[in-house]
């Protein structure tokens, strides 16, 4: 579950919550190759949680920091794109590329 998001420069910080506690979990942040032709453009992204088969049920909250430069619409200062993040309550986050 994504609890909160914020952007500082090219970095997205996500506060997440999940069940676990007995083994390490890993996460992938993947952006769609398709970008909408709206203004500003919109790219769908999702956070994939790999629990590696763990069955423990301790509730864990964790902060993930993700470099967004690869998801930019154009790699030019001021280039803007909305990220439509699956499972985020507010759904869209506005990201402006910075050098």
DSSP conformation letters of 19-81 = EE-SS--EEEEEEEEEE-SSSS-EEEEEEEEE-TT----EEEEEEEEEE-GGG-SSSSTT-EE
Indicate the pTM of the whole model: 0.91
pLDDT tens column, 57-98: 999 999 999 999 999 999 999 999 999 998 887 778 999 999
Q: Give exposure, 3-12, as e/b (b: 16+ Cβ within 10 Å).
A: eebeeeebeb
């Amino acid at each position: 579950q994504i609890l909160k998001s914020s952007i500082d420069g090219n970095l997205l910080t996500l506060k997440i919550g999940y069940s676990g506690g007995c083994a390490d979990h890993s996460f992938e942040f993947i952006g769609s190759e398709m970008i909408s032709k709206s203004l500003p453009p919109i790219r769908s992204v999702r956070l994939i949680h790999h629990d590696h088969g763990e069955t423990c049920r301790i509730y864990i909250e964790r902060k993930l920091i993700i470099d967004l430069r690869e998801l930019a619409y154009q790699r030019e200062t001021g280039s803007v794109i909305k990220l439509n993040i699956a499972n985020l309550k507010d759904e869209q986050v506005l990201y402006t590329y910075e050098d």
